[in-house]
Structure 1
């Protein structure tokens, strides 16, 4: 069996020096990553707001 690895987006076999099987897969991966990062940022800000409201109501 030849040395290979798998596309980090779709899982197809690719040469060891590659990370994606195509430009389309790379673009899909980047878009998914951006969406995930945005969701994490929104969650973090929401938690900070909730904590701030809780702290404000608990101490005042």
Structure 2
């Protein structure tokens, strides 16, 4: 069996020096990554707001 790894987006077998199998997978991966980062940012902001509200109630 040849040395290989798998596309981080779709799982197809690819050469070891590659990360993604095609431009289509690259575009899909970038879209998914941007969406994930956006949702993480929203979650972080919401958590800061919740902590801020609790801190405000405790100290005031």
SS state at 2:10 partner: coil
1:25 is matched with 25
Q: Once superposed, which parts of structure 1, at least 4 consecutive aligned residues long, lie more than 4 Å away?
A: none
Cα RMSD after superposing both structures: 0.8
Unaligned runs of 5+ residues in structure 2 are: none
Q: CA deviation at 1:16?
A: 1.1
Distance 1:58 1:16 in 2: 55
| Equivalences, count | 60
For residues 12-32 of structure 1, the C-alpha deviation after alignment (integer angstroms, 9 at most, x for no partner) is 001111111110001111111
Gaps of 5+ in 1: none
